[in-house]
Amino acid sequence: MLDQLSALQIEALAALADIQDESALENFRVGYLGKKGSLTALSAGMREVPADQKGAVGQKLNEVRTALTAGIEEKVAAMAAAKDAASVAGIDVTLPGLPTPNGALHPLTRIRDRAIQTLRRMGFALADGPEIETEWHCFDALNTPADHPARNEKDTFYLPDGRLMRTHTSSVQIRTMESIKALPVRIIAPGAAYRRDEIDATHLSVFNQLEGLYVGRDVSLADLKGTLEYFFQEIFGPQTQVRFRPHFFPFTEPSFEIDVKLEVKGQAPKWIEIAGCGMVDPAVFEAVSKSRGDNLFDPDLVTGFAFGMGLDRLAMILHGITDIRHLIENDVRFLGQF
């Protein structure tokens, strides 16, 4: 038995040295160490070995198995090393590597984060709400009557069940006032809004808004103007001039359009419309009070202001983008500038 094991070890190691591919190596392993392999067959004969020789035979059996296993592992490692060497053959490792481009935030993400950070420093908290809304939250509660153009099916995305895709994030303001437990309310609501606009250089059917609301005791128009002047000077620079023009919105009274005066190098300074705002209309407080069933938002006791702006427009002005469609086309040549 000992002679057979020695002969098997010599034969197996000689055969292993000639193996050059993984398939042949697997056949070798099965042929010697598998359930029906040569070494397994010899080990089955241990029962016939005299008792005084079992120790020596068992030791030799383990020695042969260990030698073959180690030989197979060395062969596997050698084959892997040869494969790795072949994969880099002909490559000049002294050449400089290819540069890896760095990623960057999308211009819309950058202006959104910057606007949120600025307003949070001023005490505003983030609020969120559903993009699929009811007519009450999107229009009725905001003093927008049924005959208002915004409620036309040609202007708004209506769903078969009567709900709609929100046309502004003002609906978040209503939901916040419905659920708040105490005053003051000071929130901002960034998010997507949907309108059936023809897509062109300045319009998309889906755009990004940021709206704000501040309601409390003795909130004044001066608070509104001071807040927005500071905000736009933080966004566009401390020398930015801001002006308020009278306007009309159903949910604020008085209402204003906001312009900022931008000075671009090589161009004459010009005023650009950038946002809308106003003092919350008492009719909005009355609708919220009726929904809540209490007088927390009694229009005789509280005042507030609201404002809204398109983040897409802010990004276009800030970066000199002439076509809003560039912001959604995901062209890396365009985005690489930022």
- Residue 106: the pLDDT is 93
DSSP state letter for 281? P
- Residue 209: the pLDDT is 95
- Residue 147: the pLDDT is 85
Residues facing residue 206 across a β-bridge = 194
83 and 117, same domain (yes or no): no
Domain with 138, as residue range(s), is 107-335
Is 178 annotated in a binding site? The answer is: no
195 and 270, same domain (yes or no): yes
DSSP state letter for 124? P
Residue 140 carries which side chain, given as an amino acid letter? D
203 and 60, same domain (yes or no): no
**Is residue 97, in this structure, part of any structural domain at all?**
no
137 and 176, same domain (yes or no): yes
**Is residue 102, in this structure, part of any structural domain at all?**
no
**Is residue 156, in this structure, part of any structural domain at all?**
yes
- Residue 117: the pLDDT is 97
CATH of the domain at 321: 3.30.930.10
**Is residue 197, in this structure, part of any structural domain at all?**
yes
150 and 198, same domain (yes or no): yes
The total domain count for the chain is 2
Query: Can you list the alpha helix ranges (DSSP code H) found in 88-200?
Result: 107-121, 135-138, 170-179
204 and 153, same domain (yes or no): yes
- Residue 54: the pLDDT is 67
Domain end among 52, 87, 122: 87
Q: What is the pTM of this model?
A: 0.70
312 and 224, same domain (yes or no): yes
185 and 255, same domain (yes or no): yes
**Is residue 163, in this structure, part of any structural domain at all?**
yes
Give the integer Cα–Cα distance in Å for 52 and 79. 43
Instruction: Tally the C-alpha atoms within 13 A of residue 177's C-alpha that lie toward its C-beta.
Output: 31
Give the integer Cα–Cα distance in Å for 117 and 152. 36
DSSP state letter for 324? G
Domain end among 59, 87, 115: 87
324 and 200, same domain (yes or no): yes
39 and 117, same domain (yes or no): no
132 and 33, same domain (yes or no): no
**Is residue 101, in this structure, part of any structural domain at all?**
no
52 and 159, same domain (yes or no): no
Average pLDDT across each block of 10 residues of the chain; the chain has 338 residues. List them in order: 74 82 83 76 70 72 82 86 83 83 89 96 96 95 87 84 94 96 96 92 92 96 96 92 94 95 75 94 96 95 96 90 91 87
